[in-house]
Amino acid sequence: MAILVNEESKVVVQGITGREGSFHTKLMLEYGTKIVAGVTPGKGGIKINGIPVYDTILEAKEEHQEINTSIIFVPARFASDAVFEAIKADLNPIVLITERIPVRDSMKFIGYAREKGIRIIGPNCPGVITPPKTKIGVLPAHVFKKGSIGMVSRSGTLTYEIAAAITNAGLGQSTCVGIGGDPIIGMDFVEVVKMFEEDEETDAIVVIGEIGGNLEEKLAEYIKETGQKKPIVAYIAGRTAPPGKRMGHAGAIISMGMGTAESKIKSLNEAGIPVAELPSQVAEIVKSKLEKLKK
């Protein structure tokens, strides 16, 4: 039944009264996402897009015990408090859209979430979608359709481009997870790929990486150790990025020879994962792999 989110996800929007929170609440509701409450301290008692707003998650859960998922649009300076509030309320998963959160703050709340077995998607991410059941995030819904390809990505824009190509190829997506582009994030490639490997609705997996960090190399090591249960196809953004320059996300920086596109592509290839040279080639490679499996 896909991964992380589905029609059983009952969502609270933290920061619902802000510009981004209210705008994307409307779009999520239009998609069919079951948003049951919003939270903004000091704004309790009003409604946004027909959704009741509370001062705290505790108050929201007193009225809506079914809440099990959070999406956070709170500004960076308040985001850490919002995450800790969601963790203490045992909401799982927590989708953290906010960008520019201090790394030290992220390390603290991600460590606390792991201790409690709670999954954080983000920060600085576009969210997660299981078409057509639910969308918890800012992803453009029209490029996704129900299918069998699991997607996990560090890049929002490339997610949309490659998802559209997969949709146009007649494949569609089981679930698409944008894990975020910060140096410190909650769920990583290995965790999401493991879930896709166990998901009956996912036949193949697309991994969209970028320069900086070692998440792609960690995935390659995992695949080397365990083997592939399902076909995996990758794309790495930032092949032409100069060393020492941050490109796009805060985590997309090459330093001391580490985190280059070349090192990531080499690691993935050695693990038996093909890496497309262009985003447009991903869908073609996935389709070819699935057709070979059927023969």
Runs of H (alpha helix) within the chain:
19-31, 57-63, 76-88, 103-115, 156-168, 189-198, 215-226, 261-270, 279-294
Q: Which two tokens stand for residue 117?
A: 């077995």
Smallest CA-to-CA distance from 70 within 83, 56, 52 is with 83
One-letter amino acid at 206 equals V
Instruction: Choose, from 24, 64, 142, 249, the residue flagged as catalytic.
Output: 249
C-alpha to C-alpha distance for 229 and 163, rounded to whole angstroms: 22
Exposure of 58 in the CB half-sphere (CA atoms within 13 A): 4
Q: Is 249 a catalytic residue?
A: yes
Tokens found for residue 110: 């991600």
Helix, strand, coil content of the chain in percent (nearest 5): 35, 25, 40
Q: Which residues contact 123 (CB under 8 A, 6 or more apart)?
A: 79, 96, 97, 98, 99, 101, 106, 180, 182, 185, 186
Would you name the residues annotated as active-site residues? 249
